[in-house]
């Protein structure tokens, strides 16, 4: 073999190595994107689980939320602060879900679920009063989205007590209200 034949063979092998490296890099990028989506979904769902557990871990929080979400003005200042923290956590999770969904880091169903929870809270009788002030510190994207969702919320949308049955107000005898009574709230 002559020197120019060796050079041509070396160029061909080098070109093939570059091509193989390119395909391997594309594979690694796709695998990294999948891992990022999975990690993002897992992190957001873990935060949601922790948020849901708050009413079982913190004694009395469920009663505070029942009162504040049913009638914001009936809650004490301390109860309003506790309810605000709980509801604002849901709105912040919805905001994170919105941005992660836009980047393709969570799926549509999770995104819709987080938005739906924030809207359900803001749609409660007490939540509407809360939302008027709570939307201010949030990003315009999520605030405007929740406002649009509230405006277009169909009459047959799930009532907040269907999403959070443990937060449904009970009558004076301690019994849960019927679904038709809850819809009237």
What are the pLDDT digits (tens) for 65-96?
999 999 999 999 999 999 999 999 999 999 99
Residue 54 lies in a domain: yes
For the cut 80, the answer to whether the pLDDT of residue 159 exceeds it is: no
4 lies in some domain = no
- For residue 120, the enclosing domain spans 38-184
Whole-angstrom CA distances from 25 to 14, 20, 103, 106, 167 are 16, 9, 21, 23, 51
Residue 176 in domain: yes
Residue 5: inside a domain: no
Lowest mean pLDDT among 39-43, 117-121, 137-141: 39-43
- pLDDT, residue 72, reads 95
Answer yes or no: is 116 within a domain: yes
176: β partners: 170
Domain count across the chain: 1
* SS3 state of residue 158: coil
Over 90: is that where the pLDDT of 10 sits? no
pLDDT of 180 > 70? The answer is no
- Determine the pLDDT at residue 86: 94
How many residues in total does the chain contain?
185
- Does residue 12 form part of some domain? no
Q: Which among 65, 128, 117 is positioned nearest to 94, based on CA atoms?
A: 117
| DSSP summary character for residue 174 | S
Q: Is position 70 within any domain?
A: yes
Predicted local confidence at residue 43, as pLDDT: 81
The average pLDDT across 94-112 equals 91
Q: Give one word for 140, left, alpha or beta, with left for phi > 0 and alpha for psi -120 to 50.
A: alpha
The band of 145, judged by pLDDT with boundaries at 50, 70 and 90, is very high
Fill in the DSSP letter of residue 74.
Answer: G
């Amino acid at each position: 073999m002559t020197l120019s034949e060796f050079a041509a063979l070396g160029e061909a092998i080098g070109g093939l190595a570059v091509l193989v490296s390119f395909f391997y890099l594309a594979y690694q990028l796709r695998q990294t994107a999948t891992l990022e989506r999975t990690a993002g979904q897992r992190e957001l769902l873990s935060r949601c689980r922790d948020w849901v557990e708050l009413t079982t871990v913190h004694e009395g929080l469920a009663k505070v939320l029942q009162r504040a979400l049913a009638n914001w003005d009936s809650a004490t200042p301390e109860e309003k602060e506790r309810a605000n923290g709980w509801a604002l956590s849901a709105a912040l999770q919805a905001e994170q879900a919105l941005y992660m969904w836009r980047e393709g880091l969570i799926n549509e169903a999770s995104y819709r679920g987080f938005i739906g929870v924030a809207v359900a809270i803001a749609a409660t009788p007490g939540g509407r009063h809360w939302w008027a002030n709570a939307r201010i510190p949030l990003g315009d994207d999520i605030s405007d989205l929740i406002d649009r969702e509230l405006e277009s919320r169909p009459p047959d949308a799930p009532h907040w007590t269907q999403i959070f049955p443990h937060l449904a107000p009970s009558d004076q005898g301690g019994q849960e209200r019927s679904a038709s009574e809850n819809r009237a709230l």
